[in-house]
Amino acid sequence: MWGSFLNVVIYRLPRGLSVVRPASHCPACEQPIRVYDNIPVLSYLLLGARARCCGVHISGRYPIVELCGGVLSVAIVEVIIRPLPLATPILHALAIYVADLALVLGLTAAAFIDLDHMEVPDSISLGGTALGLLTFSLRGMAFTDGLLGAAVGFAVVWLPFGVLYTRLRGKPGIGMGDAKLTMLAGAWFGWVGALFVLAAGALQGTLAVIVMLLAGKRPEEPETVQRWREEQLEELERLPEEERRKLEAELRLDPLATPPGEGLTQARIAFGPFLILATLELLLIGPRRILSWVLL
């Protein structure tokens, strides 16, 4: 059920739409979706991946996101809640479950949004960071550990790619949404967790690109990013000179404002999903167990 709500968030949040109103409706013909056609996973199968209202194809992403919500919820119960000592108060266990579920659901939405738009909404990254700082005691941390972790997590991405790279190349080397994701990881798991997420995310992202190349595919930008860039160029043509210069200055600081060049070194992929995958691994495997593996 929460995974079903994530589909609403993934579609509406990047478009600046309310995730509450109106009720679920078909994005093709805008007809309201009936309750019995909105049952997670099951409705997709019964409808044969076609909307009842207009027959438009329903993306397989919808049941995948719904299943992700359910699987991650079960995973939290199995690997985090069940191993708790029997003397753990029920309210304490419930608080851990709710906080961790909010984290994984938010990260799941952020991953799919980043795949489509190559950006991570601040409402998720900053909200997740705040939640991590507020729930530090649920993970046996000190508040200062989370605060230091958040600072380190942001700095290890922002300094090299947001400051040094910009001075050398005149534009950022990576979106600041990725820096905010490592900041989120640091708020939840301390500075060691932030460094793990950055390293593991980079490793898994590299492996994914290698697999794509072996399969004969080249990383390509989402169509939404290409359309956004075209819209920005059209807006520049319409603006007065002073406003045009201001927008041009803003676009120079946006790594997506220029199209990727030719060749593998110029390919552009969303890095956020790999940082998010590493964060989920850290949550479900555990910082201490991962650290022991790294030290071995």
Q: Is residue 273 part of a domain?
A: yes
pLDDT at 262 over 60: no
- The amino acid that residue 179 corresponds to is A
In a domain, 9, yes or no: no
Contact 256, 175 (CB under 8 A): yes
State how far the Cα of 150 lies from the Cα of 125, in Å rounded to an integer. 11
- Nearest alpha-carbon partner for 273 in 204, 190, 211: 204
- Strand, helix or coil at 32? strand
The residue segments making up the domain with residue 154 are: 71-295
CB atoms within 10 A of CB 273: 23
Asked, for residue 30, whether it belongs to a domain, the answer is no
| pLDDT > 70 in the chain, percent | 91
Q: Read off the tokens for 257.
A: 């404002």
**pLDDT score recorded for residue 261:** 60
As a whole number of Å, the CA-based R_g of the chain is 21
Residue 150 has a pLDDT of 97
**Does residue 178 sit in helix, strand or coil?**
helix
Assigned domain for 241 exists = yes
What average pLDDT does the segment 72-81 reach?
A: 95
Residues near 41 by beta carbon (within 8 Å), at least 6 away in sequence: 63, 66, 67
Residue 43 lies in a domain: no
Res 80 pLDDT > 70: yes
Answer with the residue of higher pLDDT: 146 or 166: 146
Q: Does an H or E element contain 153, and which?
A: helix 143-157
Whole-angstrom distance, CA of residue 74 vs CA of residue 80: 10
Residues 2-18: tens digit of each pLDDT = 888 899 999 999 888 88
Best-predicted range by mean pLDDT (25-39, 98-112, 268-282): 98-112
**Residue in 133, 122, 107 with CA at minimum distance from that of residue 201:** 107
- pLDDT band at residue 170, thresholds of 50, 70 and 90? low
pLDDT in tens, 183-197: 999 999 999 999 999
Q: Is residue 174 part of a domain?
A: yes
The mean pLDDT of the chain is 87
Confidence of residue 98 (pLDDT cuts 50, 70, 90): very high
What is the mean pLDDT of the segment spanning 121-138?
95
State the pLDDT confidence band at 171, using cuts at 50, 70 and 90. Answer: low
Q: How many domains does the chain have?
A: 1
Beta bridge partners, 104, equal: none
Assigned domain for 10 exists: no
Instruction: Specify if 32 maps to a domain.
Output: no
- Residues 212-255: pLDDT tens digits? 889 988 777 788 888 888 888 888 888 888 888 888 777 776 77
Rounded to an integer, the average pLDDT of 75-95 is 95
Q: Which of 130, 277, 152, 267 is nearest to 210 (CA)?
A: 267
Phi, psi of 216 (to 5 degrees): 80, 20
Structure tokens at 172: 């950022």
